[in-house]
Structure 1
Amino acid sequence: MLLDDLRNLRKTVASESILFSYRGEITQELMVYFLRIVDKKLIGSKESPLIRRRILNIMIESLQNAVKHARDWYNESEIEPENEAIFLLSRRDDKYLLINGNAVKNDVKPFIERKIENINSLSSDKQRKLFRNIIKYGVYGSKGGAGLGFVDMARKSGDLINFDFEEIDEKYSYFTYLITLDRNSIPEPDLTPKPNTVSTV
Structure 2
Amino acid sequence: MLDVYQYFKKMRDESIILYFKGEITNNLLTSILQLIDDKLERKSEAIKTKRKVFSILLECLQNVYNYYQEKEFDNERYHSAILMIKKTDNAYHIVTGNYMSNTEVPQLRNKLNKVNALSPVELKAFYKEVLNEEEFTGSGGAGLGIIDMARKSGQKIDYSFDSVSESHCFYSLQVKVLA
Fold-level match, TM-score > 0.5? yes
- Normalised to the residue count of structure 1, the TM-score between the two structures is 0.77
Percent identity of equivalent pairs: 28
Hey, which of these two has a bigger chunk of strand by percent? 2
| 1:106 to 2:123 alignment | no
Residues 19 and 85 in structure 2, CA contact (< 8 A), matched pair in contact too: yes
Residues 112 and 157 in structure 2, CA contact (< 8 A), matched pair in contact too: yes
- Normalised to the residue count of structure 2, the TM-score between the two structures is 0.85
Deviations 1:63-84 (A, max 9, x none): 111112222427xx7345xx83
1:96 & 1:182 partners in 2: Cα distance? 6
| 1:73 to 2:71 alignment | yes
| 1:147 to 2:140 alignment | no
2:118 & 2:138 partners in 1: Cα distance? 22
| 1:61 to 2:59 alignment | yes
What SS class does the counterpart of residue 159 from structure 1 fall into? coil
- What's the C-alpha RMSD, in Å, of the aligned pairs? 2.2
What SS class does the counterpart of residue 46 from structure 1 fall into? coil
What SS class does the counterpart of residue 176 from structure 1 fall into? strand
Deviations 1:79-125 (A, max 9, x none): 45xx8310000101011111111011111110110000000000001
Specify every segment of 5 or more residues in structure 1 that has no aligned partner in the other structure, as ranges.
1-10, 184-201
Residues 70 and 77 in structure 2, CA contact (< 8 A), matched pair in contact too: no
Paired residues in the alignment total 168
Q: CA deviation at 1:141?
A: 5.2
Query: Could you say if the C-alpha distance between residues 26 and 113 of structure 1 is closer, same or farther in structure 2, counting changes exceeding 3 Å?
Result: same
Residues 49 and 178 in structure 2, CA contact (< 8 A), matched pair in contact too: no
Residues 165 and 173 in structure 1, CA contact (< 8 A), matched pair in contact too: yes
2:112 & 2:140 partners in 1: Cα distance? 16
1:182 & 1:125 partners in 2: Cα distance? 19
Determine the structure 2 residue equivalent to 1:164.
160
Q: CA deviation at 1:169?
A: 1.3
Query: Could you say if the C-alpha distance between residues 172 and 143 of structure 1 is closer, same or farther in structure 2, counting changes exceeding 3 Å?
Result: farther
Which region of structure 1 is more displaced relative to structure 2, 140-149 or 83-92? Answer: 140-149
1:1-201 alignment runs, 5 A limit: 14-16=10-12, 17-73=15-71, 78-79=76-77, 84-140=80-136, 145-183=141-179
**Runs of 4+ that moved beyond 6 A:** none
Deviations 1:141-197 (A, max 9, x none): 5655553100000011000001111111122110011111112xxxxxxxxxxxxxx
What SS class does the counterpart of residue 107 from structure 1 fall into? helix
